Structure 1
Amino acid sequence: MQETDIVMLEESFAEVTAAREDAAELFYERLFVHDPSLRAMFASADMKEQGRKLMAALFLVVSSLRKLDATVPALELLAIKHVSYGVRDEHYATVGKALIETLSLFFAQRFTLEYRRVWILAYETVATVMKAAANADRVQELQHHSSSG
């Protein structure tokens, strides 16, 4: 990512952070609108705590954009953890859609095409890393089961 893209993400995320509880609530509302079946994954979750985890993950990504390679191991571990919750590849598209929609609603007219572009780029970068790790973990799990059975 270019420096101007990173600055745009940092500045816009600083605004989101100021209203993090409302932003997280809006995100999960949009997520469940796009895929109501995902609500079951959060049935026993404290949604305020889940919102804090979401904001912490976004903070990790946004604050690490200049050294994304150093963040990859943390993203990979997060992806593997999400596999145990039942997260599949197609969920990443739904999450991305909910994230962009949340930002669009949050910023209204200020969410320009340029902001949309950099947020989509950042999300797709993270989602690509996470899906690769999740799929590698699934392959390992299948290999383990086939060799032990």
Structure 2
Amino acid sequence: MKTNQILLVKESFSLVAKIPAETVGSLFYNRLFEIAPEVKAMFRNADISEQSRKLLSMLSYVIGRLDKLDTILEDVARLSQRHVKYGVQEYQYEKVGEALLWTLEQGLGKNWTEDTKEAWVACYTLLSGAMKEMSQEVPA
């Protein structure tokens, strides 16, 4: 990621972080279940409010360290391993990215610019790519 993209992601996420986690999570999960209904089964026993807080917490953690990615690689690896155990398939990362971008667009409104979108696409592509790569190392 370019330095200006990291700044755009951090700045835009600071705006999203002001929205209640349950609101952001509700937008995200409703959209995800709409475009990838097969993943809903993975959340059948989950409290979506709690899951929403976890999602925003993880995003905050990762985005806060985008300029020091090497400091979070172990955490990304652990997250990837958990996703494999939940049954996440590689193709589903695309749907999650689509739902995330849609959610950010809804939450940011007029602050969702083409540059912001490109920065988030670069961010998600980088992180999901690392997770997919690391998931290959998890024994089946």
TM-score normalised according to structure 1 size: 0.89
Q: Tell me which residue corresponds to 1:3.
A: 3
Deviation at 1:109, TM superposition (A): 3.2
TM-score between the two structures when normalised by the length of structure 2 = 0.95
1:31-80 CA-partner distances (Å, limit 9, x unpaired): 00101111110000011110011011111210011100111110011000
Higher share in helix: 1
**Aligned pairs for 1:56-95 within 5 A:** 56-95=57-96
Q: 1:145 is matched with which residue?
A: none
Distance 2:102 2:84 in 1: 24
Per-residue deviation at 1:24? 1.3
Who wins on radius of gyration, i.e. which is larger?
Answer: 1
Count of matched residue pairs? 139
Which shifted more, 105-114 or 67-76? 105-114
User: What RMSD over aligned residues (CA atoms) do the two structures have, in Å?
Assistant: 1.1
Q: Which deviates further from its counterpart, 2-11 or 85-94? A: 2-11
CA deviation string 1:84-107 (max 9, x = no partner)? 111010110000000001111222
> Gaps spanning 5+ residues in structure 2: where?
none
Moved beyond 6 Å, runs of 4+: none
Cα offset, 1:7, TM superposition: 1.5
**Seq. identity, %:** 35
**What's the counterpart of residue 144 of structure 1?**
none
Structure 1: 5+ residue stretches without partners: 142-149
